[in-house]
Amino acid sequence: MAKYNALGMIETFGLVFVLEAADAMVKAADVELVGYENTASGYISVLVAGDVAACQSAVDAGVKAVNDMDGNLYSSVVIASPHPDLYKITERYRLDKLLPYKD
Amino acid sequence: MRYYGEEALGMVETIGMVPALEACDKMLKAAVVELISYENVGSTLVTILVKGDVAACRASVDAGKRAAEQIGKVTAANVIPRPIRIIGDIVSCHDVDIY
């Protein structure tokens, strides 16, 4: 993953809400969806990357989308200039690594 | 990063991934500590483990806990100043550099 200025993430209880959040986030600002993580027992998070302002508006839009459907939003955050070691964790949840295809 | 229990161990455990990543970022920025491992136990509990001096670990864990509490639930936070060696082996089972 290329180094981005900021990371934005949203965690919800259930896949339906996280998909809605991801859709709203990517449509709202110039961000790239870089990760998807399921901690089991229902909490699922999506991770976007881009400029700080873009991540902030993406997360705002995602939070609003989930709240509009009375969704179960657990947590959301924007991390500006993330510590380099953070990528050791987020790299594991890159979508292209998670996809079950060889090519 | 391989950890042999030769330095202090700091940890923060949260419910969910987002508070854990926020805690991790703030822990690494707050003091001179290194990320050893990250562990998702499967029942939504995610733990971030760092190593460094005792004071650095304390400052780091405090900062991580405070940051995570603002956006989610923290289930545990602790600093072990001088763990026995076997603790290092357990922690290294989830080494963040090996994937």
Q: What is the pLDDT of residues B9-32, one digit of tens each?
A: 999 999 999 999 999 999 999 999
pLDDT in tens, A53-94: 999 999 999 999 999 999 889 999 999 999 999 988 988 888
How do the domains of chain B map onto residue ranges?
8-92
pLDDT confidence bin for B39, thresholds 50/70/90: confident
For residue A87, give the 3-state DSSP assignment: helix
Helix (H, G, I), strand (E, B) or coil at A44: strand
Count of residues in chain B: 99
Q: Which residues of A touch B97 (CB under 8 A)?
A: 88
Q: Model ipTM?
A: 0.81
- DSSP code, position B35: E
Answer whether B2 touches A (CB < 8 Å). no
The domain segmentation of chain A, as residue ranges, is 6-98
Three-point CA angle A50, B16, A14, nearest 5° = 85
Amino acid at B10: G
**Interface with B, mutate which of A85, A92, A97 (most B CBs under 10 A):** A85
Question: Do the Cβ atoms of A82 and B25 come within 8 Å?
Answer: yes
The CATH superfamily of B8-92 is: BMC (bacterial microcompartment) domain (3.30.70.1710)
Residue pLDDT, tens place only, A23-38: 999 999 999 999 898 8
pLDDT at A2 over 60: no
Task: Look at residue A102 and tell me whether its pLDDT is greater than 90.
Answer: no
B25/A57 Cα distance (integer angstroms): 21
For A6-98, CATH gives 3.30.70.1710
